[in-house]
Amino acid sequence: MNKYELTTNTKIVDGFTLFQIKALKDFGNVKAGHMGGWIDDTSTLDHNTTSWIDETSMVFAGSIVSNNSMVENNSTVKDGSTVKNKSTVKNRSIVKDHSTVTNNSTVSNSTVKNNSTVKNSSTVTNRSIVSNNSMVENNSTVDNGSTVKNNSTAKNRSTVTNNSTVTNYSTVRNHSTVTNRSTVTRAFVKDSSTVKNNSTVSNGATIENGETITNFTNIK
């Protein structure tokens, strides 16, 4: 038995006709008869797990929500993007442009776009952005207005926070932190190292082995 149906409630968004869904049976925290979110095709939301789209959210344009995942609180997933494997997109977030949120990850009040990925228990939150073929993975966090972009990666329990930027093929990895309006561009921060307090690491430089760069320092 299908877990939901398309209702006759419709709206047009970006040229797509979206249908509101309604639960046909109890599953997870959803009860039969509960009104859900808005999709353009029944292939968008799976029928065999507890995945759900709440009544304030939209998933369309070839996007998929599956494997016990949630899209909620005025969020949008579109343009061939995927939310899967117990992941959550919430609080006015946008996942678009063939991006992926997977494996127990969360995007909250943030944007993931342009073929980017958040995976393996990672979090992007509080007005942050992951874009342009970038990746946040393996228990890493991007938060508080920070950005990872342009083919960059934060991985292995690393953190990019407090209006910081990692960009242009950079990597922050292995318990490292970029914080307090700092920037890493075309550079590497690894192995429990820190860049903080308006500092910049650039031009192929590597910060490693627990080193700390702080207070408007420019390393290149």
Model pLDDT for residues 154-167, shown as the tens digit of each residue = 999 999 999 999 99
CATH of 134-220, one of 2.160.20.10, 2.130.10.10, 2.160.10.10, 3.30.300.20: 2.160.10.10
Q: What is the mean pLDDT of the chain?
A: 97
The whole-angstrom distance between residue 166's C-alpha and the CA centroid of its chain comes to: 16
* Percent of the chain residues past pLDDT 70, beyond the cut: 100
- At 76 the pLDDT is 98
- The residues, ordered by sequence, that sit 6+ positions from 117 with a Cβ below 8 Å of its Cβ are 99, 100, 101, 102, 130, 134, 135, 136, 137
Domain layout of the chain by residue ranges: 1-109, 134-220
Verdict on whether the full-model pTM lies above 0.95: yes
Confidence of residue 5 (pLDDT cuts 50, 70, 90): very high
- CA–CA distance from 182 to each of 117, 146, 165, 219 (Å)? 22, 10, 6, 12
Element (H, E) at 69: none
pLDDT digits (tens, 9 = 90+) for 29-87: 999 999 999 999 999 999 999 999 999 999 999 999 999 999 999 999 999 999 999 99
Q: Which residues of 198-219 are buried (b: 16+ CB within 10 A; e: fewer)?
A: bbbbbeebebeeebebeeeeeb
